[in-house]
Amino acid sequence: MFLGGAVALAASGAEEQPSLSITMDDVNWQALADPMAANALLLRVAKKFRVQFGLFVIGRNAEGETGQAIVSSWKSAGHLIANHTYSHRPYGALTFEEFSADARKAEDILAPYLSKPMLFRFPALKEGNTAEKRDRMREFLRAGGYRNGHVTIDASDWYFDARLRARLSKTPGFDATRFRRPYLDHLWNRARFYDGLSKEILGRSVPHTLLVHYNLLNSLFLADALGMFAQKGWRVIDAGAAYQDPVFQRNPQTVPAGESLIWALAKETGKFESQLRYPGEDDVYEKPILDRLGL
């Protein structure tokens, strides 16, 4: 049954259940063989679970007829639309002036779609490689009416997707469903890790924002992933509802800044060095697993 925009997973004690929302980055429809078909599949997942996702859009991907049609379809369905820069260039490779201009350029394109309060997400979750750049960008966002669209559960679905598309290109007729179980196992592993950190640092399980990407992998398996979380006792909630939690107002004083918000809060304490890898998530951690599986 469904209650208030969330999948209800138990008859009682729902307030103690862990919860997560879906935040989806990039809208890189150009990498899809049939972008409108994939877009329909992704929208169908959200409709099936009766929740609103957060769509963090690269501005250049919302230009042109196809990009505008895709973003408009998400806006019309009530999903949260947010700024993910215009060109997706990493902040560490740019000056503050260059990076903030890129964010403004995206806003100009996305203005008809942006949800309120406005959210912004840094490419690769990298928020500044110096304290000065970190703080200047935080002030820029605050002055522009933005909040940081933090991720609490980071993942490497983008790498699974790249491997899947490479395999399909190399091996016609390859069974894409072979990626399903490893992908679900990866998401569950990362969810348990970040939720455990949340409980250790904050004494509670926060309403999580899971980072995934707008890609082929999720058009195929995101419904299975949400079904898995439901089966394991998690609630799937609206992205906008998750962002109402006060934890998303936190500004960890880490340098380099970024990664998962939970990762950064743990790093800030100085007590979790043995548990924290850097970067928090990357292809180097998943490559040996997929290699062993012949994927």
What was the pLDDT predicted at 14? 42
pLDDT of residue 158: 98
Give the C-alpha separation, 33 to 169, whole Å: 11
Phi, psi of 241 (to 5 degrees): -70, -40
Give the helix/strand (H/E) hosting 201.
Answer: helix 180-202
C-alpha span between 131 and 143 (Å, rounded): 18
Mean pLDDT of successive 10-residue stretches along the chain, which has 295 residues: 36 66 98 98 98 98 98 98 99 98 98 98 98 98 98 98 97 96 98 98 98 98 98 98 98 98 98 97 98 98
In whole angstroms, give the CA distance from residue 13 to residue 155: 28
CATH number given to 16-292: 3.20.20.370
163 burial via Cβ count (<10 Å: 0-12, 13-18, 19+): buried
* Contact indicator for 109, 86 with CB cutoff of 8 Å: yes
pLDDT of residue 10: 36
Say if strands 6-7 and 2-3 run parallel, antiparallel, or are unpaired.
antiparallel
Beta bridge partners of 3: 6
Phi, psi (degrees; rounded to nearest 5) at 94: -125, 160
Contact (Cβ atoms closer than 8 angstroms) between residue 107 and residue 56: no
Structure confidence at residue 16 (pLDDT): 75
Cβ pair 288, 172 in contact under 8 A: no
| Alpha-carbon gap, residue 197 to 182, rounded angstroms | 23
Q: How far apart are the first and last CA of the chain?
A: 37
Q: What is the CA radius of gyration of the chain?
A: 18
Helix pair angle (157-170, 283-292), 10° resolution = 40
